[in-house]
Structure 1
Amino acid sequence: MAVKGIDISKWQGDVDLEKVKGAGYKFVMINAGYGRYISQKDSCFEDNYRKAKAAGLDIGAYWYSYAVSAREAEKEAEVFLKAVGKKKFEYPLCYDIEDTSQRGLSNRVIGDMVKAFCGKLEKAGYYAAIYSYANFLTEKVPVECRKRYDVWVAAYGVEKPPYDMAYGMWQYTSTGRVSGVKGNCDCDRAYLDYPAIMKEKGLNGFFNS
C-alpha cells in the first residue's frame, strides 16, 4: 500500500507541517539546496526539518544538480552532505538530475555523474536515490544506474508513470492542494517501507543493532 507524502523547498514558504500530518501525509522530502557551494543551501531546510520532526513526519532530502561532469557531481554530493550534517532521515537522500543544461550531455557522462554523486552518499552511510522525470530517466540515465540505485520518478496526469523499470517513489502532481501548504504543492507516493529499510540496514543516521 502506498504511503502519501509531499516535497517542499523555500518556494513553499512557511509550511505548517502539523496540518500536513493531520491531513494524512506520512513523509516529506525536503530540498536541502542546489549546486556546488554551501551558500546554495536551501534557506528553509533547517526550519523545515525541525518542523517535520516535531510533527512526527518521516523525512528525506534532495539536492538539485547543475553538474555537467562527474567531478562537479561529486562536489555537489560533498556539499549536500555538509548541508544535511548529522541529521537522521527515514527516507532516501536523492540526486535531483533534470536541469536543461544536462540534456545535451551523453548518457555515459550522465551515468558517471549519477555514480559519482550517489556513490559519495553511500560511502557516507546514506541510502541514495535518483530523482527525475520519467522521460529523462529513460532517455538519459543508463539502465545500469537505474538498476543500481532506487528511483523517485516524476510523472503528472497519468494513472501510473510511463516508466518501465522499478521505482520506490512517484511524484504524481506539482499542483496538489494540501492543508498547511500555501498554493500548489508536489505530492508523492512511496511504495517501499523506507523507515524499516534505514533501521534494518543502519543507514541515514540509524545504527544497525
Structure 2
Amino acid sequence: MALFQVGIDVSRYQGSINWSAVAAAGKQFAIVRIGSSNNNGAYVDPYFLQNVNGAHAAGLRVGAYYYTYARTESAVAGELTTFLNALEGLQLEYPVFVDVEARSLTSLGKPQLTNLVKYAMDILNQRKWYAGWYSYTNYINSYMNASALANYPLWVADYRSSLGYTGQYGMWQYSGSGTVSGITGAVDLDYSYQDYLPTIRAGNFNGYGSDGPDMTTVSGYKLTVFGSNTEYFYTANLNDVVGYLPLGSYPVTQITKEKYNGYDWVVFEYNGGQYWTALIGDRNRLERDDTTDDCSRQLAEANAKIAAAKAALE
C-alpha cells in the first residue's frame, strides 16, 4: 500500500504545540481530539480549536476524533450534540473518527457495539462530516465486526514493527511514544495511505459547503477520456484544478442536472478518490458502462433514423 502522508494525532495532553516546528519536521497532517466524556458528560478538549487552527496555519491537513463511551443510541446522540457543535464552522481535510477502544464497552458484545459505532458514523455523515472509526488491532478482532463497517474508513493502531491487522484500513497509528519537534513529551505517530480530500470535497463534507451544481447520482456510466488535455478538478470550479487525466475510462458516480458555469459536469472515481471534470466534446465523453446496452441504444437510434427517413419519402 502506497504511503500518502505522515502525521500525528494530538489532544490536550500535548499542551501548547509549536505547529511551525511540527511542519518543519516533515509532518503533513494532524488528527485532533474534539473531546471525550467524564462523569459530567461529554466535554470539548480545551486545546481543540487551538490545535486545528495552529495546524492549518502551518500548512498541515487536519482531521478530528472523539473518544466514545456511549453504550446506547441515546448516549451516542448526546455525545454528538456536544462534538458537532464544536465542529461547526470548521473545514477539515481528513475524516472525523469515532475512537472506540474503551474497555467499558466490550461487555456489549460485537453486534451491539458495532451497531453503535455505525450509528454514530451514520449521524456524522448525515450532518455532512466525513466519518471514520479508530481502534487497535486486538480490540477490533475481539470486539468489533469490521466487515459491517467496511463502508467507512478505518484508522487502526498497532505499535508492532509491522501492522498485524489484516483487514482494510486507510491509516495506521504506528507509535504512541513518538518525538516531534515543537511538541514537549510523547506524541502518537501516524501514516495515511489515502487522500481523503477529493471525496470530502466532491461530497460537500467537512465544511466544504454545498455550493455547486445540482447533481444526480448514477450507476452504469463511465467517463471516457480520449484527449490528453482533459483537466480534472476538486470541485465544479475551473480554478480548482488538480491536473490532467490520463487517457482511459473512469466510473462515474454523479452527473449534473443542468449546465453549471457553462458545462455539464461529472463526478468520477480515480486513484481511490472522487473528482470532477467538465464534459467537453473534443476531450472526453459520458458513456454507458455496458457494451450490450450501448449497442442496443445505437441500434435503436439507427432504426429511428431509418424510420424517419422512410416517413419523409412517403
Deviation at 1:38, TM superposition (A): 7.7
Q: Is the 8 A contact 2:118 2:149 kept in 1?
A: no
Confirm or deny that 1:141 pairs with 2:144: yes
- The structure that is helix-richer by fraction is 1
Match of 1:110 in 2: 113
Match of 1:158 in 2: 161
- Identical counterparts, % of pairs: 33
Confirm or deny that 1:184 pairs with 2:186: yes
What are the equivalent positions in structure 2 for 1:15-164 lying under 5 Å apart? 15-35=17-37, 40-160=43-163, 162-164=164-166
SS at match of 2:27: coil
Match of 2:207 in 1: 205
- Runs (5+) with no aligned partner, structure 1: none
Deviations 1:25-63 (A, max 9, x none): 100000010138786100001111111111111000000
Match of 2:169 in 1: 167
Deviation at 1:116, TM superposition (A): 1.5
Deviation at 1:80, TM superposition (A): 1.4
Runs of 4+ in 1 over 2 A off after TM superposition: 35-39, 143-146
Deviates more, 1:58-67 or 1:197-206: 197-206
Deviation at 1:146, TM superposition (A): 2.9
Q: 2-side partners of 1:153 and 1:78: how far apart?
A: 25
SS at match of 2:107: coil
- Give the letter aligned to residue 43 of structure 2: Q
SS at match of 2:129: coil
TM-score (norm 1): 0.94
Deviation at 1:198, TM superposition (A): 1.5
SS at match of 1:117: helix
- Note the aligned Cα RMSD (angstroms): 1.6
Q: Is the 8 A contact 2:42 2:82 kept in 1?
A: no
Q: 2-side partners of 1:9 and 1:88: how far apart?
A: 18
- Give the letter aligned to residue 115 of structure 1: K
SS at match of 2:135: strand
SS at match of 2:117: helix
Q: Is the 8 A contact 1:38 1:79 kept in 2?
A: no
Deviations 1:125-148 (A, max 9, x none): 111101011111122121343312
- The structure that is strand-richer by fraction is 2
Deviation at 1:155, TM superposition (A): 0.3
